[in-house]
Amino acid sequence: MLIEDHIGLFAESPLRGPNDAMCGPRLPDQSHVYDPVWRALAASCAADLAIPLHSGVYAWCRGPQYETPAEIRLLERLGVDAVGMSTVPEAIAAVHGGMKVLAISCITNMAAGILDQPLDHDEVMQVGRQASAATIRLLSALLNRTGEERT
């Protein structure tokens, strides 16, 4: 999933604590964390390669446990398309440092309460391994295309 925005209300910000102004402003703008130019380029590369790539809103939950069915129902009502325990703190820190961000998440499982079976971390890892070839193709195409645009 191509992350177009995120919700990170339920975990502590990576910027909490003293700010080093050399790293970025105390209160960085979060209006466009995920760069629209990079997102469009990634979507174009995925289309060229016939790799399904949906866009959506990602919710960052602290973990390390999976979310509960009640949490998933709440997040669905908030407009969330996918949930995970990573990506968002790194994106926030990158924006704080003035970087442009592209985030693509490999969706490996249905959230708690969606299916009538428990979540299995081994299955999550297996799906991630299965998706790795397409992910590598997509990222390689994206990097090649950005290199072409620079020349």
- What does the chain look like in DSSP terms, one character per residue? -EEEEEE-TTS--TT-S---TTT--SS---TTSB-HHHHHHHHHHHHHTT----EEEEEE---SSPPPHHHHHHHHHTT-SEEESSSHHHHHHHHHTT--B--B----SPPTTTSSS---HHHHHHHHHHHHHHHHHHHHHHHHHHHHHH-
Q: For the segment 48-86, what is each residue's pLDDT rounded down to a tens digit?
A: 999 999 999 999 998 888 888 899 999 999 999 999 999
Q: For the segment 37-46, what is each residue's pLDDT rounded down to a tens digit?
A: 999 999 999 9
Does 12 or 36 have the greater pLDDT score? 36
Averaged pLDDT for residues 14-37:
94
Q: Which domains does the chain have, with CATH numbers?
A: 2-14+29-150 (3.40.50.1580)
What local confidence, expressed as pLDDT, does residue 10 receive?
Answer: 82
The partner residues of 88 in beta bridges, in order of sequence, read none
What local confidence, expressed as pLDDT, does residue 17 receive?
Answer: 94
In the chain, what percentage of residues exceed pLDDT 70? 97
Does 113 or 147 have the greater pLDDT score? 147
Q: For the segment 5-14, what is each residue's pLDDT rounded down to a tens digit?
A: 999 988 889 9
Residue 74: burial class (beta carbons within 10 Å; 0-12, 13-18, 19+): middle
Please check the confidence at residue 151 and state whether its pLDDT lies above 80. Answer: no
Please check the confidence at residue 139 and state whether its pLDDT lies above 60. Answer: yes
Q: Which residues are known catalytic residues?
A: 67
Please check the confidence at residue 98 and state whether its pLDDT lies above 90. Answer: yes
Nearest alpha carbon to residue 75 among 10, 140, 148, 143: 10
What local confidence, expressed as pLDDT, does residue 92 receive?
Answer: 97
What local confidence, expressed as pLDDT, does residue 67 receive?
Answer: 87
